Amino acid sequence: MKSTETEKQQYARVKELLDISHQRYLAAGGEPKGTHSGLPGEDFLTATEREELVKLMRLLAGTRVIADEVHCQGRVWKVPVLEAKNENLP
């Protein structure tokens, strides 16, 4: 499969965001040969950077979320939609 120039740029941006995250981890006293968990709040990314990274990774992996469906590698499945509970409503 031949990568397009756009895909190459997207992969480069993913690497850049991961490198930023790792540098912040090290600056915060992290183990040089170790890695952080990658969980939100423990990934050393801003919310905007995390959102961009997730979007790029989904795009590059061929995963799309459309309404309440996940589309990936020719398969589609429903995602349960959870309604927010509001105790003030009757």
* CA 50 centroid distance within chain: 6
Q: What pLDDT is stored for residue 13 in this prediction?
A: 97
Q: What pLDDT is stored for residue 1 in this prediction?
A: 47
pLDDT (tens digit per residue) in 63-87: 888 888 888 878 898 988 766 555 5
Rg for the chain (alpha carbons), in Å?
18
The two tokens of residue 69 are: 């469906």
Read off the pTM. 0.67
Q: Which DSSP string corresponds to 3-67?
A: PPHHHHHHHHHHHHHHHHHHHHHHHTT--TT-----STTSS---HHHHHHHHHHHHHHHTEEEET
pLDDT band at 90 (very low <50, low <70, confident <90, very high): very low
Distance CA 58, CA 62 (A): 6
pLDDT band at 2 (very low <50, low <70, confident <90, very high): low
Q: Which is nearest to 24 in space by CA: 51, 54, 46, 52?
A: 46
pLDDT (tens digit per residue) in 5-43: 988 999 999 999 999 999 999 999 988 887 777 777 778
Q: What pLDDT is stored for residue 48 in this prediction?
A: 94
